[in-house]
A and B are shown apart, each in its own frame.
Chain A
Amino acid sequence: DGGITQSPKYLFRKEGQNVTLSCEQNLNHDAMYWYRQDPGQGLRLIYYSQIVNDFQKGDIAEGYSVSREKKESFPLTVTSAQKNPTAFYLCASSTWTGLDYGYTFGSGTRLTVV
């Protein structure tokens, strides 16, 4: 079955460490997105990419980096510059179907700083 796989489901990071969250899709979608969710808040866009080798900053890109070397993969690195990285991270993808964008979400990664 097609879908988006995020790994790991839970991730613990020590202060000052960089960590990378994986997002892989086999839907052949062109666009991919990373969102951050904090308790009691909506989803805020970190980065998005419409095509391979191109990506754009979202609303809260500081302290994060991404790459899009393959259509299927859009990893997110949380750097030590991100002062408060503890959150739930959701990856999404989309492609135009002729009627809709068909947004699809992964199951999420919960990152905790210890």
Chain B
Amino acid sequence: ELKVEQNPLFLSMQEGKNYTIYCNYSTTSDRLYWYRQDPGKSLESLFVLLSNGAVKQEGRLMASLDTKARLSTLHITAAVHDLSATYFCAVVGYSEYGNKLVFGAGTILRVKS
């Protein structure tokens, strides 16, 4: 059974600092997603990572994927207050009935000025 673990679950950062969120998953998958969620809102897609060694960057966020280690990272560079949100990683699981997304517990990020 596919399990997805994120850490840390809560992250309080000072503006301008760098930090990394980690996402481990238990069984082989061919794609991993990162989402952002603001309070009371739906999910906003950030990145889709499709292959080993994939790296994608958007602004101050950079995501990478190591399929051999079953590990993805979301690196935050020079954090700003607007990045405060909850970040989820999700991995595609497969069964005889089709595909489904399995989510990590989420990382609550608070950027303090």
Listed in ascending order, the chain A residues whose CB lies under 8 Å from chain B are 31, 33, 35, 40-45, 48, 50, 56, 58, 88, 90, 92, 94, 99-101, 103, 105-108, 110
Interface of B is mostly: strand
With an 8 Å Cβ cutoff, the count of chain B residues facing the other chain is: 27
CA distance A58 to B83 in the complex (A): 32
Interface of A is mostly: strand
How many angstroms from the CA of A33 to the CA of B106 in the assembled complex?
A: 19
Using an 8 Å CB-CB cutoff, how does the interface string of B100-111 with A read, 1 for contact, 0 for none?
Answer: 111111101000
A56 engages B101 (CB within 8 Å): no
Question: Contact: A58 with B103, CB < 8 Å?
Answer: no
Given A42-B104, A90-B43, A100-B50, 8 other A-B contacts at CB below 8 A?
A31-B99, A33-B100, A41-B106, A42-B4, A88-B40, A103-B101, A105-B43, A108-B42
9 examples of A-B residue contacts, CB within 8 angstroms = A35-B103, A42-B104, A43-B90, A43-B101, A58-B100, A101-B92, A105-B42, A106-B42, A108-B42
